[in-house]
Amino acid sequence: MQDPVQVPSVALDSNQRKRHEEALRESEERFRTLVQFSFDVYWETDAQHRFIRQEFAETLAEPPVAEIGRTRWEVPHLEPDEEGWRKHREMLDAHLPFRDFEHARPTPDGGKRYVSVSGLPVFDETGRFMGYRGVGRHITERKRAEQALIESEARFRTFVDHATDTFMLHSEDGRVLDVNRNACESLGYSRSELVGATASFFDLEIDQATWRINRERIKAGGITTLESRYRRKDGTVFPVEVRMREFCEGGRRQIICLSRDITERKRTAETFREMQAELTHANRAAAMGQVTASVTHELSQPITAMLCNAEAALNWLGSQSPNFERARQALASIVADAKRGGEIIGWIRSLIKKTPAPKESIDVNGAILDVITIARSELLKHGVLIQTDLAPGLPRVEGYRVQLQQVVLNLILNAIEAMNCLDVGGRELRISTAGDASSRVVVAVRDNGPGLDGVIVDRLFEPFYTTKPGGTGMGLSICQSIIEAHGGRLWTGANEPRGAVFQFNLPSQQG
Ligand code: ADP
């Protein structure tokens, strides 16, 4: 604010007065010209605060109501309240400058017209208070915009409060600044109990270090989504998915956390996982069922050998001059065959068992050879010629041996079925392994069947998609989920000169 204006009152001679009047007229003209270009209303009041002058542009969109002869508070008004006016009058009576005093007048259509006024007290040369001079401006539009903002914030608050998600606003160091209603309801705390607490008060997975790590992640990636566990006031715990984002308000960095109770989602995922395990097992059992002939053959071989060796041992011992050395050799062979039989039974049992053995370090070539063993008589039965091209010195793979064997078995059985349309003698199956540049082990199963046409390729891995009358359509979808769970990928292609190739890769322990 400038200093109060002093009105000069000097005794003037007529010439001086003329010049002075001329200067005054010019200054008044300049002033009026300025007013015509201004959006402001220029006003003057006397020592009793009654309006004595109001100047404004003729083109002003909303000219002020005539207030001449009345004080500002004698003109009908709506705002501020009595207390507001009292304070304003107190200031005027103290002859103090004022700035941006906002008040509202009623409009004929029942609305409100907001005006903001600023004024300077005027004193004569003796220091006597003469009144005020100042400007006023219509601020209805600005007020409306402010009001809309307040309403929109209130609407947003209502939305946030009624949202089924939990909203929390945190300071940089993890302290809770604000929460919505759902945060209180789901955690069982009142707002005042939560505001001011750190996140670790209810979040079981968070401490200062994790909070810092999360903040780094937010800085790097914008929005961060993580899973955590919240503890209610009554001690019960529930899983949540938390989305965090940082934003800046009034120069202060804040973190907004939106969390959602995922108990139901977790339960569904668990049921789905169990169902998938059941299906995987059922598929394995079905595949095993198809190769029972091989299994029987594999077992009957050592049993027959054991029988022969037992008879031989009996002969060596029962003769007139028993040959103990030969009998010992026959018995040693029985032990070896019994071991081999036991191994086969153990292995088949592991294939059939519901819960597979724990993860292990797998020699992929060895696992494939075992599968070929049990599929052998199925291959023979269909007249399929099998070739293997297994790369020596492959790095080992970590995973579930039985599940990977299930994938190979499924691919072999599919290939056998696909080649049924060919004449016996022309059915060829080739299984190869190789290591790739990124230390992954790649397994390929090739056949020279009809191959995969475009329509089939797009749907092969869909659950329940089958082109076979008795098919389940689950084989390839299960194979895909097994390979992906091992961190690998399963894909198909065309074999040269004809047929299909199914390939998968697996990360090796070396990689
Ligand atoms: P299913 O064997 O019960 O049909 P899969 O998921 O194992 O289920 O296979 C889905 C479909 O993919 C098969 O019905 C078949 O049409 C096609 N398919 C699978 N393997 C081959 C292959 N080696 N050659 C041609 N088509 C194949």
Ligand 1 atom, smallest distance to 478 CA? 6
Q: Is 449 in the pocket of ligand 1 (CB under 6 A)?
A: yes
Q: How far is ligand 1, taken at its centre, from the CA of residue 401, in Å?
A: 23
Ligand 1 atom, smallest distance to 476 CA? 6
- Looking at mean pLDDT, say which of 7-16, 46-55, 209-218 comes out highest: 46-55
Residue 1 confidence (pLDDT): 43
Q: Is 428 in the pocket of ligand 1 (CB under 6 A)?
A: no
Question: Could you give the CA distance from residue 148 to residue 165 in angstroms, rounded to a whole number?
Answer: 26
Question: Could you give the CA distance from residue 377 to residue 291 in angstroms, rounded to a whole number?
Answer: 8
Residue-wise pLDDT tens digits, 392-427 = 999 999 999 988 999 999 999 999 999 999 988 889
Which superfamily does CATH assign the domain made up of 25-144 to? PAS domain (3.30.450.20)
Q: How far is ligand 1, taken at its centre, from the CA of residue 417, in Å?
A: 8
Question: Could you give the CA distance from residue 385 to residue 36 in angstroms, rounded to a whole number?
Answer: 103
Q: Which two tokens stand for residue 73?
A: 């508070």
Residue 14 confidence (pLDDT): 78
Tell which one of 460, 462, 483, 501 to mutate to probe ligand 1, the residue whose CB is within 8 A of the most ligand atoms.
460
Residue-wise pLDDT tens digits, 243-282 = 998 888 778 888 989 999 999 999 998 888 888 888 888 8
SS3 181: helix
Q: Is 478 in the pocket of ligand 1 (CB under 6 A)?
A: no
Q: Is 458 in the pocket of ligand 1 (CB under 6 A)?
A: no
Question: Could you give the CA distance from residue 56 to residue 34 in angstroms, rounded to a whole number?
Answer: 10
Q: Amino acid identity, residue 42?
A: Y
Residue 149 confidence (pLDDT): 85
Residue-wise pLDDT tens digits, 68-119 = 999 999 988 899 999 999 999 999 999 999 999 999 999 888 888 899 999 9
Residue-wise pLDDT tens digits, 133-155 = 999 998 988 888 888 888 888 88
- Average pLDDT (21-29) is 86
| Run of H or E residues at 169 | strand 166-171
- Average pLDDT (330-344) is 89
Q: Is 131 in the pocket of ligand 1 (CB under 6 A)?
A: no
Q: How far is ligand 1, taken at its centre, from the CA of residue 500, in Å?
A: 10
215-221: long-range contacts, CB 8 A cutoff, minimum separation 24: 215/172, 215/246, 215/255, 218/244, 218/245, 218/246, 218/255, 219/246
CATH architecture of the region 163-261: 2-Layer Sandwich (3.30)
More reliable by pLDDT, 418 or 285: 418
Residue-wise pLDDT tens digits, 480-506 = 989 999 999 999 999 999 999 999 999
Q: What are the structural domain ranges in the chain?
A: 25-144, 163-261, 274-507
Distance of CA 103 to the CA centre of its chain: 49
Dump the DSSP string for 381-448. HTT-EEEEEEPTTPPPEEE-HHHHHHHHHHHHHHHHHHGGGSPTTS-EEEEEEEE-TTSEEEEEEEE-
Residue 261 confidence (pLDDT): 93
Q: Which CATH number fits domain 274-507: 3.30.565.10, 3.20.20.80, 3.30.870.10, 3.30.300.30?
A: 3.30.565.10
- Look at ligand 1, atom 13, and give the residue with the nearest C-alpha: 466
Question: Could you give the CA distance from residue 24 to residue 15 in angstroms, rounded to a whole number?
Answer: 14
Question: Could you give the CA distance from residue 8 to residue 15 in angstroms, rounded to a whole number?
Answer: 18
More reliable by pLDDT, 496 or 10: 496
Q: How far is CA 109 from CA 73, 87, 105, 376, in A?
A: 21, 29, 12, 96
Pairing between strand 360-362 and 397-399?
Answer: antiparallel
Q: Is 475 in the pocket of ligand 1 (CB under 6 A)?
A: yes
Q: How far is ligand 1, taken at its centre, from the CA of residue 348, in Å?
A: 24
* For residue 212, pLDDT beyond 80: yes
* For residue 507, pLDDT beyond 80: yes
Ligand 1 atom, smallest distance to 474 CA? 6
* For residue 19, pLDDT beyond 90: no
Separation of first and last alpha carbons in the chain: 75
* Measured CA angle at 240 (ends 236, 242), to 5 deg: 140
Residue 160 confidence (pLDDT): 80
Dmax (CA) for the chain in angstroms is: 170
Q: Which two tokens stand for residue 225?
A: 């989504």
Ligand 1 atom, smallest distance to 472 CA? 3
- Look at ligand 1, atom 20, and give the residue with the nearest C-alpha: 414
Examine domains 25-144 and 274-507 and report if their fold is the same.
no
Q: Is 503 in the pocket of ligand 1 (CB under 6 A)?
A: no
Q: Is 416 in the pocket of ligand 1 (CB under 6 A)?
A: no
Residue 154 confidence (pLDDT): 84
Residue 228 confidence (pLDDT): 93
Residue 191: other Cβ atoms inside 10 A = 13
